[in-house]
């Protein structure tokens, strides 16, 4: 109990983490004022409560009930959440920039509350060598509104060790999709997994067994589903089961796939489109995606697994194509749909309704992706990057394509209820306010940033 001569302590929510210990002197020195203090209903250590968040040099350096700061931003009852980390996007840069580029894709991400994107390697040229990965990094270096990491593609014979210092993770396609990054032989998968395991990086896998994918002529979404059955997903997961290392199964799409993953030490993603759309959704080729939209029963099973906390990561699998692409005959039209700007806002609307628990959403969109990929992000915690989204839970509105920022110019979620962020901060810098970009493009490579902190 404190007496008149005792030193009052600042309110704390729990004991310090290792990251907090690294910033202890900065927190308590009291000699300087912080760059920015943001106050509001913040999600700290698993609960929403009124907190002040002190930010300096892009990092959270203090969390307390009240903090002195050079610039104070009192947000009242608005909610402060960690910025989302999207572990699966295709920003089409370089080579496919009629569909999207790193500037438009990362702006769309920021406007959707995503402060870090992890980009896939199936561009033109594909990022499957150290040289091509370095060229891609150089090409996008000054375009990004949010932080980013790049996946390296794995092909038989790829020099994985050479790519590892530049890659946030590695990607394998077991089933054919956009691009020509296909690995079908078990011996090649085993060799790739062993090599990736030695680097300490994550191996993300598009888990559809090419041997079970048919290529019959398609004219409707149900045709696409028949060509790519759930059995192909299950078979691919079973083939992965004996491989070493940290394996992440991308865009799980079926109840059978979920069952096959039980008791396996893999992480798994799910997308908004596989939870909210199914084979009966309208849209013709606009609804064509790999893996395909499946049955209502599959959709509900995925959503139930998500809200119960069984899914590790929420991913958009943002894979935009132009309207002209999608207006082609169904069989010729490419697979993929945009989602980086709409995924989190739709989940926020479901959170407001009480359908998605806040702790489940924050874990899947921020905490777990940060943990899986080793990023000092994903939590409102001292020592982590000050990536924040500020939302007004009263500001739900229908999605309108005219308000979105992706270059592709369409969305499968027109009219769906969403809560778009009021403000988005990347490392303490305001980049979006009420759906408009502000300031400068501040995004940087998370792999380079991680090395510089080591």
User: Which residue in 86, 93, 119, 317 is the catalytic one?
Assistant: 317
Q: Is 216 exposed, middle or buried (0-12, 13-18, 19+ CB in 10 A)?
A: exposed
Nearest to 418 by CA among 344, 333, 311, 336: 344
163: three-class secondary structure by DSSP: helix
Lookup result for tokens 């989190």 = 344
**Peptide bond connecting 94 to the previous residue in cis, omega within 30 degrees of 0:** yes
In contact, 91 and 406? CB cutoff 8 Å: no
Nearest to 419 by CA among 322, 348, 320: 348
Nearest to 249 by CA among 283, 292, 203, 289: 203
The H or E element spanning position 439 is none
CA angle 132, 134, 135 (to 5 degrees): 65
Buried b (16+ CB within 10 A) or exposed e, 337-371: bbbbbbbbbbbbbbbbeeebebebbbbbbbbbbbb
Q: Is 374 exposed, middle or buried (0-12, 13-18, 19+ CB in 10 A)?
A: middle
- Told to judge if 317 belongs to the known catalytic residues of this protein, a careful annotator would answer yes
In contact, 71 and 54? CB cutoff 8 Å: no
Nearest to 398 by CA among 418, 381, 375, 374: 418
In contact, 119 and 161? CB cutoff 8 Å: no
Residues facing 268 on adjacent strands: 249
As a whole number of angstroms, the distance between CA 86 and CA 96 comes to 20
In contact, 235 and 209? CB cutoff 8 Å: yes
- State the catalytic residues: 317
């Amino acid at each position: 109990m404190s007496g008149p001569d005792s030193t009052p302590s600042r309110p704390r929510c729990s004991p310090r983490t290792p990251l907090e210990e690294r910033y202890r002197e900065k927190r308590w020195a009291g000699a300087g004022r912080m760059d920015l203090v943001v106050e509001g209903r913040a999600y700290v250590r698993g609960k929403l409560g009124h907190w002040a968040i002190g930010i300096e040099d892009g990092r959270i350096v203090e969390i307390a009930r009240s903090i002195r700061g050079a610039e104070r931003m009192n947000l009242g009852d608005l909610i402060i959440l960690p910025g989302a980390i999207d572990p699966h996007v295709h920003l089409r840069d370089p080579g496919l920039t009629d569909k999207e580029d790193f500037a438009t894709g990362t702006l769309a991400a920021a406007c959707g509350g995503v402060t870090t994107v992890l980009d896939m390697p199936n561009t033109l040229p594909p990022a499957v060598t150290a040289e091509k990965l370095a060229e891609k990094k150089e090409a996008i270096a000054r375009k990004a509104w949010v932080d980013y990491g790049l996946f390296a593609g794995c092909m038989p014979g790829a020099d994985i060790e050479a790519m590892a210092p530049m890659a946030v993770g590695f990607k394998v396609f077991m089933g054919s999709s956009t691009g020509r990054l296909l690995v079908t032989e078990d011996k090649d998968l085993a060799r790739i997994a062993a090599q990736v395991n030695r680097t300490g990086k994550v191996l993300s896998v598009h888990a559809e067994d090419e041997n079970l994918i048919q290529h019959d002529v398609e004219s409707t979404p149900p045709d696409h589903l028949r060509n790519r059955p759930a059995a192909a997903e299950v078979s691919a997961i079973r083939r992965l089961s004996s491989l070493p290392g940290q394996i992440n199964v991308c865009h799980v799409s079926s109840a059978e796939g979920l069952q096959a993953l039980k008791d396996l030490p893999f992480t798994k993603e799910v997308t908004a489109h596989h939870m909210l759309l199914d084979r009966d959704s309208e849209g013709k080729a606009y609804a064509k995606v790999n893996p395909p939209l499946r049955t209502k029963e599959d959709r509900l099973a995925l959503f139930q697994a998500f809200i119960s906390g069984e899914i590790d990561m929420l991913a958009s699998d943002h894979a935009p194509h132009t309207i002209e692409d999608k207006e082609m005959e169904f069989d010729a039209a490419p697979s993929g749909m945009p989602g980086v700007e709409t995924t989190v806002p739709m989940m926020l609307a479901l959170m407001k309704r009480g359908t998605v628990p806040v702790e489940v959403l924050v874990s899947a969109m921020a905490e777990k992706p940060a943990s899986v990929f080793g990023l000092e992000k994903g939590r409102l915690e001292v020592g982590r990057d000050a990536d924040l989204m500020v939302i007004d839970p009263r500001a739900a509105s229908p999605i309108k394509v005219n308000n979105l920022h992706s270059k592709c110019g369409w969305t499968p979620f027109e009219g769906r209820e969403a809560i778009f962020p009021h403000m988005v901060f990347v490392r303490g810098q305001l980049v979006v306010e009420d759906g408009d970009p502000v300031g400068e493009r501040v995004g940087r490579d998370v792999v380079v940033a991680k090395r510089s902190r080591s």
